[in-house]
Amino acid sequence: MKIALAFYGQPRYVKNEHILKSYKKYFLDRYECDVFAHMWWGDPVKYDTSSWNNCVGEMISPDSLDFFKKNYNPIKLKTEEPRNFEFDNHVKKFIDEKFTGKRHCPKNGQIWCQRNYSNLMSHLHSMQESSRIVSEYADNTNIKYDFIVLARYDTILFDVPDLHECDKEKLYLPCHHGRFPDVVMFCSHKHLAWSGNLFDDISKVYDRIDTP
């Protein structure tokens, strides 16, 4: 089975040995895998986090990029310097009127705020870029992947299903919460048209949001 393992986002805790072992166990050593990646990476390395972030210790070190290259051996890797994002004006107007400032958490502060919106858009942009890297490579090489796995750098995997037993017509998501279960997901090649436009489609779907 041919798999594209596509990483995205900030390379948080990428040097954690348990993360690497879990990706080896469930993907790299189990299937024929090609690794791809989009990574937020800058010098000096500066990263924003969402208001609910409870990460401790050194999330990202100066050699995180080199570690990833050495241990995951990506075929294609694109880096961009971290930056802030803003909604288009008409999207911002809708979001501000319906959500902004209306959900405060005693532990994490304001949930619906520009800081978190920017981080969400950063996340979607990175997922989109990683998907497009896979799509471009597949088109240029005429490779048809059985599954594309979109994965974060900071996730320790547990009990991933055998992809040989999964339906290629479906998109598989984790179930740790019902809003944006983003830690790892996988789908067949045909769904790249969806994941490859996650950021660009914001302006098309923003008014269908029930709650962020």
Question: What pLDDT, on the 0 to 100 scale, is given for residue 112?
Answer: 84
| Residue percentage of the chain with pLDDT more than 70 | 88
**Cis peptide leading into 212, omega within 30 of 0?**
no
At residue 179 the predicted structure's pLDDT band, cuts being 50, 70 and 90, is low
Q: Say yes or no to pLDDT of 212 above 60.
A: no
Looking at residue 126, its pLDDT comes to 97
In 3D, which of 136, 105, 123 has the Cα closest to residue 48? 123
For residue 81, which amino acid is it? E
Torsion angles phi and psi, residue 137, rounded to 5: -65, -40
pLDDT digits (tens, 9 = 90+) for 37-52: 999 998 655 677 766 6
- Residue 4 contacts residue 36 (beta carbons within 8 Å): yes
- 8: β partners: 152
pLDDT for 96-140, tens place per residue?
A: 988 888 877 766 677 788 888 998 899 999 999 999 999 999 999
Residue 31: what pLDDT? 97
Q: What is the pTM of this model?
A: 0.90
Instruction: Supply the mean pLDDT for the chain.
Output: 89
Q: Is the dihedral of CA 165, 179, 60, 57 positive or negative?
A: negative
- Quick check: helix, strand or coil at residue 148? strand
Residue 117 three-state SS = helix
What does the pLDDT average to over 161-177?
A: 86
Stronger pLDDT, 207 or 103, i.e. the higher one:
207
Give 4-21 pLDDT, tens digit per residue. Answer: 999 999 999 999 999 999
- Determine if residue 159 is left, alpha or beta; phi over 0 gives left, psi from -120 to 50 gives alpha, anything else beta: left
Identify the pLDDT of residue 105. Answer: 75
pLDDT-derived band of residue 153, with 50, 70 and 90 as boundaries?
very high
The neighbouring-strand residues paired with 34 are 4
